[in-house]
Structure 1
Amino acid sequence: MSSDLAQTLIVMPAFNEEAAVAGVVAEVFAKLPGATVLVVNDGSRDSTVAQASSAGATVIDLPFNLGVGGAMRAGFKYAQAHGFRYVVQVDSDGQHDPDGVPSILAALRSHDVAIGARFAGQGDYEVRGPRKWAMKVLASVIGRIARTRLTDTTSGFRGAGPRAIAIFAEHYPAEYLGDTVESLVLAARAGCTITQVPVSMRSRAGGTPSHNPGKAAVYLGRAALALVIALWRPPITLRHEMTTQP
């Protein structure tokens, strides 16, 4: 695992996460020795950059807010430019436990994308109402496209191997839910293999949630729209030299 970690870039998108980001970076370094941590500051108006830098992370400071998708594309471009074999997204708010990263990396030895799934038998993460049903429908549809059983296609705790990095560095979606739903459809239709591993989620260590109960009813329509957009766009074709993992 140490050799995998040496080839791994942990990408942490961050928007106004001054309360949590330093602690999360420190925890990642402690639990994943040898990994490189890249915090992509997504136009924060607080001291996120200073906090991340003080904890030892490499920082990309975007001049304005692009959303998680835009921040992750910057991370994938960095990984590709610096020769990293694996990219794992870890939220800067503390919800993703770095203890789950080794399982994701193990899955990436045989798959192009590995999702840290919240509903796969580990932990007690739970959602209700329209959001729950939207997640179930999305998992069913995307699982059919990817030809595998999936239970959590909106989890941001996920990893990418060489072929997926090549795709995502150029084409990672930036629209709402594009970084989760559309990116999986994009990868599957490009011939990437997708799997999931069970992980536990935690409460935020600080900052403000991006969703609240009042937005739950809107989630279903937006999720459906994201899926339609993903299916409408033409498949990405990898160049021949990128189609085989080293």
Structure 2
Amino acid sequence: MSRPSLDRVLVVIPAWNEEDALPGVLREVRAVCATEQSLSATDVVVVSDGSRDRTAEVARAEGVPVLDLPINLGVGGAMRAGFKYALRHGYDAVVQLDADGQHDPAAIPALLGAAHEHGADVVIGARFAGAGSYEARGPRRAAMRVLARVLSRVTGTRLTDTTSGFKLAGPRAVELFAAEYPAEYLGDTVESLVIAARAGLEIVQVPVAMRPRQGGRPSHSPVHAAIFLGRAVLALVIALSRPSSHTARARLHAAAEVKA
């Protein structure tokens, strides 16, 4: 199995009104990159997703470039902008990291290690794979189990956490997602995995521990959590009902032939 080159890594942080937690997250990423040899060529970009607070300002104050979107597109739209930026600037891999501090930057080397070990194109930082004490309850837990079961079959590998926003995308995935990353609700998680699997990309997961939000307000209220099940199932149905993108697979094959 071929091992992708992951020499240049870009950490993309989609952020919507995260001025409180973002500075601490950026300092943690910087500290991890300074101590981990595998991250020596790692850069960071913040995608301010239509933020109305000082998110963009605090990122620039930390010396980090910012993609300042004029309107809120959601995580999917913000990440597509990040993938386009990565492709344009020649990065080998993209790590998606939340701006609220729930994702531990110290786990990034584990994502990179899994990509190298398995030759994987997408590595998911899974919350329900034996690390940490994170739990989902009620309809949200039921939805996550259904999604994991179905998407495990679609991807051909056992997945326990298909809605994690802590992920690594290798070279082939960066090229694919720069063009086709979905922006709809849950599309950045559920549908992106379907798109990757249908394009023939290898997907694996590694266990990660989640932390409490470091600042700001949670994006999901109890009411939103109660309707998560219906939305999640709908997102999965939409993803599976869309025709497979032959263009995506052809683009990846063509790129591989050129590099060869």
TM (norm. structure 2) is 0.90
Aligned residues: 243
* SS of structure 2 residue aligned to 1:84: coil
* SS of structure 2 residue aligned to 1:116: strand
In the alignment, what sits opposite 1:8?
9
Equivalent residue runs for 1:48-197 within 5 Å = 48-109=55-116, 110-197=119-206
Q: Percent identity?
A: 61
* SS of structure 2 residue aligned to 1:96: coil
* SS of structure 1 residue aligned to 2:95: strand
Equivalent residue runs for 1:21-40 within 5 Å = 21-33=22-34, 34=40, 35-40=42-47
Bigger shift: residues 11-20 or 210-219: 210-219
Letter in 1 for 2:105: P
Alignment pair present for 1:242 and 2:229 = no
Task: Give the C-alpha shift of residue 67 in structure 1.
Answer: 0.4
The question of whether the paired residues in 2 share the 8 Å contact of 1:166 and 1:242 is answered with no
* SS of structure 2 residue aligned to 1:65: coil
Letter in 2 for 1:78: Y
Task: Give the C-alpha shift of residue 241 in structure 1.
Answer: 2.6
Structure 1 Cα separation of the partners of residues 100 and 71 of structure 2? 19
Letter in 2 for 1:242: A
Structure 1 Cα separation of the partners of residues 255 and 54 of structure 2? 39
Offset from partner CA, 1:145-189 (integer Å, 9 cap, x none): 000000000000001001111110011000000000010011001
In the alignment, what sits opposite 2:21?
20
* SS of structure 2 residue aligned to 1:75: helix
Letter in 2 for 1:184: L
Offset from partner CA, 1:192-241 (integer Å, 9 cap, x none): 11000000110111111111222222111100110011111122233223
Q: Can you give the 5+ residue segments of structure 1 that lack an aligned partner in the other structure?
A: none
The question of whether the paired residues in 2 share the 8 Å contact of 1:25 and 1:56 is answered with no
Structure 2 Cα separation of the partners of residues 193 and 86 of structure 1? 14
* SS of structure 1 residue aligned to 2:227: helix
In the alignment, what sits opposite 2:227?
218
* SS of structure 2 residue aligned to 1:57: coil
Structure 1 Cα separation of the partners of residues 180 and 137 of structure 2? 32
Q: Can you give the 5+ residue segments of structure 2 that lack an aligned partner in the other structure?
A: 35-39
Offset from partner CA, 1:76-104 (integer Å, 9 cap, x none): 00000011001000001100000110011
The question of whether the paired residues in 2 share the 8 Å contact of 1:114 and 1:158 is answered with yes
Letter in 2 for 1:67: G
Task: Give the C-alpha shift of residue 242 in structure 1.
Answer: 2.7
Structure 1 Cα separation of the partners of residues 205 and 255 of structure 2? 23
Task: Give the C-alpha shift of residue 13 in structure 1.
Answer: 0.2
Structure 1 Cα separation of the partners of residues 106 and 244 of structure 2? 34
Structure 2 Cα separation of the partners of residues 154 and 89 of structure 1? 13
Task: Give the C-alpha shift of residue 21 in structure 1.
Answer: 0.7
Runs in 1 of length 4+ with deviation above 2 angstroms? 240-246
Structure 2 Cα separation of the partners of residues 134 and 242 of structure 1? 36
